[in-house]
Structure 1
């Protein structure tokens, strides 16, 4: 993406009513929407996050399927989720918001038990051992999710990485956390929820063209 195009998208994001772009300092010193998300959406519907939302396809796709829930896509790359934010506005999807910030701050963005579900779609598996702390299903991240999720809230992991799938399953079992469903190839094995099959991201389509298996885990952290 050219620098001019990126700048144009950054500028457009500034005008979008569904895009929130706090500084790290604002988040760390007391984020204004923490504990107030229902006021932002003007309803009491459940709040669902997509972490590392990329272009926002899953955030928007889920919002279309579930108008009775509120969806927030979180990513530091605003030029990417610009597409999702723009589509949501064009389609008058009032249950969508995008938040440009670092994912590791997630427990500062939401109050205890404020979130109902979390989707993690095609994260970087961070295969090298020294990158373990950046894996989005490591024990540190799971503790953050545990803090903000309501009791019984769901976490969904959809990935093309067998390493990420296996690492996460092993960690969940080791911690004694509840795995509700696991599938090593959602397009060949039956049983995955409809939104796992019915929504495909830009990157997922690339993986499918290369005939890579798409895996999925649904689990609870509390």
Structure 2
């Protein structure tokens, strides 16, 4: 392991906006994000597979009346967003280091107001469907964690994954599509995300890929 990674891991152990194994708060945070981490009653917004945290940090800058949590298993990635947030004095963003499959171990029912799924691995092979973050398996996990009328945002460059997700949501009787577009930056909603882009969104956009966006909720 490189010295850089080791240094980042050490800083994660100290940074107050990183919730990870080894910290006392890690075992107590479920159902207590507002009281233990943010010390306010503002709505909680979670970004899955947040990577370096560009999107969570960007949203936190624009919505000081909401709390944002980026979830990723890679400590060297969330270190980036954590460090930027601390440097800017953003108290409304934190990072949870865990596998997304374990999400329900860290959030209670009705604790999340919004969920962002931004540029996840598409797992294109049919046999890998259960690993997709928009598969029925994951949707069933998200459902009880979201508040009534809680919103799920989904962004991707991958047409196959987008079509799969849209078809799945449209077919489910417990889901309601609020809006969708196959070309977000040519749509009327392009300014809603304040120009915030993840590393991968920037790369895909520069290659000419159209960004797809879906907003839905459980009925």
Q: Same fold (TM over 0.5)?
A: yes
Residue of 134, 144, 148 corresponding to 2:145: 148
TM-score by length of 2: 0.94
5+ residue gaps, structure 2, are: none
Q: Which residue of 2 aligns with 1:135?
A: 132
**Is the 8 Å Cα contact of residues 107 and 147 (structure 1) preserved in structure 2?**
no
Alignment of 1:118-133 (within 5 A): 118-133=115-130
Partners of 2:203 and 2:123 in 1: CA distance: 19
In the alignment, is residue 202 of structure 1 matched against residue 196 of structure 2?
no
Runs of 4+ aligned residues of structure 1 deviating over 4 Å after TM superposition are: none
- Cα shift at 1:32: 1.0
Q: Matches of residues 151-170 of structure 1 in structure 2 within 5 Å?
A: 151-170=148-167
Counterpart position of 2:17: 18
CA distance in 2, matches of 1:125, 1:152: 26
Deviations 1:144-179, CA, capped at 9 Å, x for gaps: 110100000000001111111100001001112100
Aligned residue pairs, count: 215
Alpha carbons 1:74, 1:98 under 8 Å: kept: yes
Candidates 30, 37, 52, aligned match of 1:55: 52
Distance in 1, Cα, partners of 2:139 & 2:115: 11
Partner of 1:32: 28
- Separation of aligned partners in 2, 1:154 and 1:118: 6
Does the CA contact (< 8 Å) of 1:145 and 1:221 recur in 2?
Answer: no
Alpha-carbon distance, 1:193 to partner: 5.4
> 1:190 deviation in Å?
2.1
In structure 2, the residue matched to 1:188 is 186
Distance in 1 (CA, whole Å) between partners of 2:187 and 2:114 is: 24
Identify the residue that residue 105 of structure 1 maps to in structure 2.
Answer: 102
Superposed CA RMSD in Å reads: 1.5
Q: Where do 5+ consecutive residues of structure 1 fail to align?
A: none
Alignment pair present for 1:71 and 2:68? yes
Paired residues of 1:183 and 1:192 also in contact (CA < 8 A): no
1:211 aligns with 2:213: no
Taking structure 1 as the reference length, the TM-score comes to: 0.93
